[in-house]
Structure 1
Amino acid sequence: MSIFTQEDLLLYLYKETSTEQNNLIEAALQQDYELRQSLVSLQESIQLLDQPTIEPRTEVVLSVLNYAREAVETGA
C-alpha cells in the first residue's frame, strides 16, 4: 500500500512536485501495482476531459454571433 494519494499523483502529472517528490513517487510506482493503476486511470481521465464531447448546435452559434454583431453595431 502506497503513502501517495490521487492528489499527489495529479501534482506529479502536472509537474508540480519537487525533484525529491518525483523520485519518491517514481520509486513507489515501480513497486506498487495499485498506484500504477491509479496513475493510468488519472491519465485516461485527463485525456477524456481534454476532448470535447459535444458541440453546440449551429443555430446557437449563429444566435450568439448575431447578438454580438448587433451589440457592436448599436454601440452597446
Structure 2
Amino acid sequence: MDIEIKKSLIAAILQTENEEILEAIKNLLKIEDQADFWDQLSLEDQEAINEGIRQLDEGKSVSYEEAKDLIKTRFGF
C-alpha cells in the first residue's frame, strides 16, 4: 500500500468524530482497549503504593545497600 494512502487514512481517522467508524476500525485492526494497570490493582495495593510514595516524598527511604544489610541482619541471609 502506498505511503500516501496510509497518511490519508491516518488523517481521516484523526479528523472523524464518528464513534461507529472508529469502533469499526478498532475491530478491523484487532485493537484491544488498554486498561490502566492501576485500575487492576486492589484498593489495598493502591494504598500501599501511595503510602510508599508519601514516605519517599518525606525523605523516608534507605539505599539498596542499607536494605540489603537490614535483610541480612533480620533474616540471616
Q: TM-score, normalised by structure 1?
A: 0.37
TM-score w.r.t. length of structure 2? 0.37
Greater RCO, 1 or 2 (C-alpha within 8 Å, sep 6+): 1
Structure with larger Rg: 2
